[in-house]
Amino acid sequence: MTKLSLRPLKGYKPFPGPLVTVIMDGVGIGKRDESDGVFLAYKPTLDKLFQEDVCLKLKAHGKAVGLPSDEDMGNSEVGHNALGCGRVFAQGAQLVNDAIASGKIFEGKAWKEVRKRAGSGTVHLIGLLSDGNVHSHITHLYALLERCAKEGFKTVRVHPLLDGRDVGEKSALDYVGPLEKKLSELSASGRDFRVGSGGGRMVTTMDRYNANWGVVEKGWKAHVLGIGRQFKSASEAVRTYYAEDPKMTDQYMDSFVIAEGGKPVGTVQNGDAVVCFNFRGDRAIEISRAFAEPDFQSFDRLRVPQVFYAGLMEYDGDGHIPADFLVEPPAIDRVLGAYLCAAGVTSFAVSETQKFGHVTYFWNGNNSGYIDAKLEKYVEIASDRIQFHLKPWMKAAEITDAVVDAVAGGKYKFIRLNYPNGDMVGHTGIPAAVRVAVECVDLGLSRIAPAVADAKGVLMVTADHGNADVMFTEKNGKRSTHVAHSLNPVPFIVKDYSGADSWQPAAVQAPGLSNVAATICNVLGFEAPEGYDPSLIRLG
């Protein structure tokens, strides 16, 4: 293993205090109107910080954090990977492509369990049948099917969800036809590979943000129970729906069940394995919960088969949904924390349970535990088990207490913290609670800033993605509550209270979260490691 080291930054003047990096989870830069919970909140400390010379906008979604396209919202996992690792690593579709090409997707414990279940049960593959590359890609499904055949799986059922949104609105037969042909070709040597059920994505299975659990229920009935309008094939179902309603588009097509002699051919039974082959999380979370959540109550599942369920990826890193998935997070080396430990820099990381893993595990490149326990201290503050809008202040005060004490103690040179409020409360979509959440973060900053000033340190403030900055969207005069992450940029601020150096913004093209690690190195007196994305600042 290569020994890590950092070179001193030329012209740098040391300062006595710490560098404190505040991650305001879910606090983006929005439209500055009534839909923007960050703008509406009373936040005098943050507003003052927005006037600093080093106050930039960073891209925190899409390709800037390793996702396939700039239509993909960022999230806390990839955001903290970028913040703590200094480079952009493949996520989403690209990560799956790489895992398939290397074969790693079939080497993990999840696929081994799928293989085990295939010995006596059926393997079910559920997901969006499309090459839109937003939620899924048909080549990923084909790779799974080919592997099933190669490993001798006897019975496989595909439950395709029709797109018509990321691809042509009536293009279903362009995907269903080739799929049926492929399944027929693979059904040799005693194998039985067929379509089991399906439906349009907007009415079957792929709900998101708890908007309409009836969509997931319809999918459950079709995929698991075999309840739905019956057809001999998926192609017949599509042609029939088209003929009955010429205005029908794929995404709104009703569910269908493939049957022989009135008996569904693809119901899910005890002992089966179920894999969701979507790589994007937002529309895969709810069906994952329906399969894997022990105390699930969002609708009556009527019958709950005991199956092994896996996602193509982990769809929700906060909730660990699902628990099992085929493609592991990216292998990330040479993380910032490792370099700082090698340089003897003491560090302190704190958040409450909801985001503790993000300032530790994800920040450190998806690695658990300490890098060097002699130099680092990680503090987890237990989150309350209560709906976030009922207590939007969460544990901001306790996090702030820990940081203020750490600054005053003088033991740690680098301190990082995550305030989860803007994200966790932002997901509720309740405007009053969202504003309070942002105000609580600002209140925390109002205590941290003077502590850093007293210690003659440096304060750095940023976020991992947006959320609280979009509380609702408006279309044709109708408002819709927005509870997802936003595509907005996030702030990046450096306030130097030390008087040692005069930092100025550097000329960085398309700055993003991955530039922060090099910036931290510079503030601490080091050149950025080789290969890191460039620093956002320079000595004035």
Q: Which domain holds residue 64?
A: 19-89+331-499+523-534
Torsion (CA) 10, 11, 15, 20 in degrees, nearest 10: -60
Q: Do 337 and 397 share a domain, yes or no?
A: yes
Q: Do 106 and 82 share a domain, yes or no?
A: no
Q: Do 407 and 359 share a domain, yes or no?
A: yes
Q: Do 398 and 412 share a domain, yes or no?
A: yes
Asked, for residue 31, whether it belongs to a domain, the answer is: yes
Please name the amino acid found at residue 57: K
Other C-beta atoms lying within 10 Å of the C-beta of residue 473 = 13
Q: Residue 126 has which token pair?
A: 């559920």
pLDDT at 367: 85
Could you tell me the CA-to-CA distances from 408 to 120, 121, 222 in Å, in that order? 62, 61, 60
Q: How many separate domains does the chain show? A: 2
Q: At 386, phi and psi to the nearest 5? A: -155, 150
Q: Do 153 and 274 share a domain, yes or no?
A: yes
pLDDT at 141: 98
State the CATH number of the domain containing residue 183. 3.40.1450.10
Q: Do 199 and 149 share a domain, yes or no?
A: yes
Domain boundary among 276, 311, 346: 311
Separation of alpha carbons 101 and 443, rounded Å: 49
pLDDT at 250: 96
Asked if residue 246 has a cis previous peptide bond (ω within 30° of 0), the answer is: no
Residues designated catalytic:
76
Q: At 309, phi and psi to the nearest 5? A: -115, 135
Q: Do 123 and 28 share a domain, yes or no?
A: no
Pure H helices in 154-274 = 172-186, 213-220, 234-244
Asked if residue 305 has a cis previous peptide bond (ω within 30° of 0), the answer is: no
Q: Do 382 and 363 share a domain, yes or no?
A: yes
Maximum distance among all Cα pairs of the chain, rounded to whole angstroms: 82
Separation of alpha carbons 443 and 24, rounded Å: 12
Q: What is the pLDDT of residues 483-520, one digit of tens each?
A: 888 999 999 999 999 988 789 999 999 999 999 999 99
pLDDT at 330: 77
DSSP 222: I
DSSP 321: B
Q: Do 146 and 264 share a domain, yes or no?
A: yes
Please name the amino acid found at residue 132: G
Beta carbons of 129 and 179 less than 8 angstroms apart? yes
The pTM is what?
0.78
Of the candidates 275, 268, 272, 128, which has an alpha carbon nearest to the alpha carbon of residue 204? Answer: 128
Stretches where the chain sits below pLDDT 70 are 1, 318
pLDDT at 318: 61
Beta carbons of 337 and 347 less than 8 angstroms apart? yes
Beta carbons of 430 and 418 less than 8 angstroms apart? no
Domain boundary among 311, 346, 381: 311
Q: Residue 209 has which token pair?
A: 């943000």
DSSP letter for each residue of 6-19: -PBPTT----SS-E
Torsion (CA) 106, 155, 183, 281 in degrees, nearest 10: -50
DSSP 330: P
Of the candidates 390, 439, 395, which has an alpha carbon nearest to the alpha carbon of residue 39? Answer: 439
pLDDT at 281: 84
For 351, counting Cβ atoms within 10 Å of its Cβ (0-12 exposed, 13-18 middle, 19+ buried), the class is buried
Lookup result for tokens 């005890």: 270
